[in-house]
């Protein structure tokens, strides 16, 4: 039996479908069960903080894919977000060990690196997260490393780039698309500075390819894998190309990086999902992960680059949201 936490997330849905298609017995744990979710799984509603629920979820389980997390405070308080991301991970690993679970795959984030000066960023480069989510993920990783040293459960860590694709619920992506396509004559895309930064995306199907490969191959315990798209252009180059290919009728507006950071501070009390610290980081920082270890160990290659990822997402947005 395989347990997938956070199964209704963008990656979670794809991973559940993949493992089911390969004949695995799947149990899912998530906050709520969508009406359209597959019926071919044992679904448990709850979260990783409730020990009774987690014990039930871990019964007869051999492998866990821990995808459940809270990336922003849209639906949860910062306190609850922190508890789920850190304490929840610790609770799940502790109970998993006692339940005899052998393999544990943990989804971390590129945000653990913060505004790294290294381009591309390697797994062993310094971790100095600047976002709340990145700080939570680094603390959760430290819990994983503590348990790895005990050698009682095999743990593999993945650090995916910003995950974007059809059906995304990421507020930054949705608001950006809304600004570009849904505001009539005021359509615009904002870019900080001259747009010479590079920011890497990852398609959910490419993320699942890597995670599923690690599961099939085995022998990845104690390793960390960066995951991200190839052929990343500068943000200005990407916006121009996406505008042309998607036929977007929107204006490109340049804002000073300092002003975007200032607006982030001003807007913080209003709890907007635009120009958050995470969004400012995307606008003003280069994030490019070195994914060579995943390519070498897992025989993995991302199939979609930033351009194809955004074009696919825009096509979905036009059909479903406009």
DSSP 108-124: --GGGGBS-S-SSBPTT
Q: Is 24 part of a structural domain of the chain? A: yes
- Strand runs labelled E in the chain: 2-5, 26-30, 42-45, 63-66, 103-107, 154-160, 162-163, 188-192, 201-202, 224-227, 251-255
pLDDT digits (tens, 9 = 90+) for 154-191: 999 999 999 999 999 887 788 788 778 766 567 887 77
Examine residue 109 and state whether it is found in any structural domain, yes or no: yes
Could you tell me if residue 84 is inside a domain? yes
pLDDT at residue 279, as a whole number: 66
CB atoms within 10 A of CB 223: 17
pLDDT digits (tens, 9 = 90+) for 77-93: 999 999 999 999 999 99
Smallest CA-to-CA distance from 103 within 17, 192, 248, 2 is with 2
Among all chains, which residue has been given the structure tokens 């977007």? 248
Residue 263 has pLDDT above 60, yes or no: no
Q: Would 186 be classed as within a structural domain?
A: no
Each as own residue / partner, the long-range contacts of residues 37-44 (CB below 8 Å, 24 or more positions apart, any chain) are 37/7, 37/8, 37/13, 41/7, 41/16, 43/7
Q: Does residue 33 have a pLDDT over 90?
A: no
Q: pLDDT digits over 219-231, tens only? A: 999 999 999 999 9
| DSSP secondary structure letters along 8-73 | TSHHHHHHHHHHHHTT--EEEEES---TTS-SSSEEEES-TT-HHHHHHHHTT-SEEEE-----SS
What is residue 262's three-state secondary structure?
Answer: helix
Which of 3-17, 139-153, 235-249, 279-293 is predicted least confidently?
A: 279-293
Read off the CATH number of the domain in which 155 is found. 3.40.50.720
Helices 204-217 and 10-21 meet at what angle, rounded to 10? 50
Q: What digits encode the pLDDT tens for the residues 203-249?
A: 999 999 999 999 999 999 999 999 999 999 998 999 899 989 998 88
pLDDT band at 268 (very low <50, low <70, confident <90, very high): low
Residue 251 included in any domain: no
Pick from 76, 66, 44: which is nearest to 57 by CA? Answer: 44
Q: Which residue segment(s) compose the domain that 39 sits in?
A: 2-164+201-229+288-303
> Residue 149: its pLDDT value, please?
93
Contact 45, 30 (CB under 8 A): yes
With respect to residue 182, please indicate whether it lies within any of the assigned structural domains: no
The string of pLDDT tens digits covering residues 113-155 is: 998 888 999 999 999 999 999 999 999 999 999 999 998 899 9
Quick one: pLDDT at residue 270?
A: 45
**Mean pLDDT, rounded, for 295-317:** 96
Is 312 within a domain? no
What is the number of structural domains in the chain? 1
Q: What are phi and psi of 102, to 5 degrees?
A: -95, -35
Tell whether 269 is covered by a domain: no
First to last CA, the chain: 40
Range from 16-20, 70-74, 97-101, 160-164 carrying the lowest mean pLDDT: 70-74
Contact (CB, 8 A) for 26 and 19:
yes
Q: How far apart are CA 20 and CA 271, in angstroms?
A: 38
């Amino acid at each position: 039996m395989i347990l997938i936490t956070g199964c209704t997330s963008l990656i979670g849905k794809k991973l559940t479908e993949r493992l089911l298609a390969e004949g695995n017995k799947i149990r899912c744990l998530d906050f709520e069960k969508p009406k359209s979710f597959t019926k071919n799984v044992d679904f448990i509603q709850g979260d990783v903080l409730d020990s009774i629920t987690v014990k039930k979820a871990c019964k007869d389980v051999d492998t866990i894919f821990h995808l459940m997390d809270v990336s922003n405070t849209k639906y949860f308080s910062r306190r609850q977000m922190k508890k789920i991301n850190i304490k929840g991970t610790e609770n799940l690993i502790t109970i998993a060990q006692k339940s005899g679970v052998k393999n544990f795959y943990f989804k971390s984030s590129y945000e653990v690196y913060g505004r790294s000066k290294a381009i591309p960023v390697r797994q062993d480069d310094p971790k100095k997260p600047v976002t709340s989510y990145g700080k939570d993920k680094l603390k959760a990783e430290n819990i994983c490393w503590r348990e790895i040293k005990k050698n009682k459960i095999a743990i593999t860590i993945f650090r995916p780039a910003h995950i974007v694709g059809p059906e995304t619920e990421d507020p930054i992506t949705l608001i950006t698309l809304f600004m570009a396509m849904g505001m009539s004559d005021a359509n615009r895309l904002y870019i900080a500075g001259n747009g010479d930064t590079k920011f890497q995306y990852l398609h959910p199907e490419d993320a699942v390819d890597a995670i599923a490969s690690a599961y099939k191959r085995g022998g990845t315990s104690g390793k960390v894998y960066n995951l991200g798209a190839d052929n990343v252009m500068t943000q200005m180059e990407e916006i121009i190309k996406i505008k042309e290919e998607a036929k977007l009728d929107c204006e490109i507006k340049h804002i000073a990086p300092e002003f975007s950071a200032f607006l982030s501070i001003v807007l913080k009390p209003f709890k907007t999902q635009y120009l958050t610290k995470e969004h400012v980081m995307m606008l003003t920082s280069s994030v490019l992960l070195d994914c060579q270890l995943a390519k070498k160990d897992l025989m993995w290659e991302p199939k979609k680059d930033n351009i194809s990822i955004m074009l696919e997402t825009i096509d979905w947005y036009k059909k479903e949201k406009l």
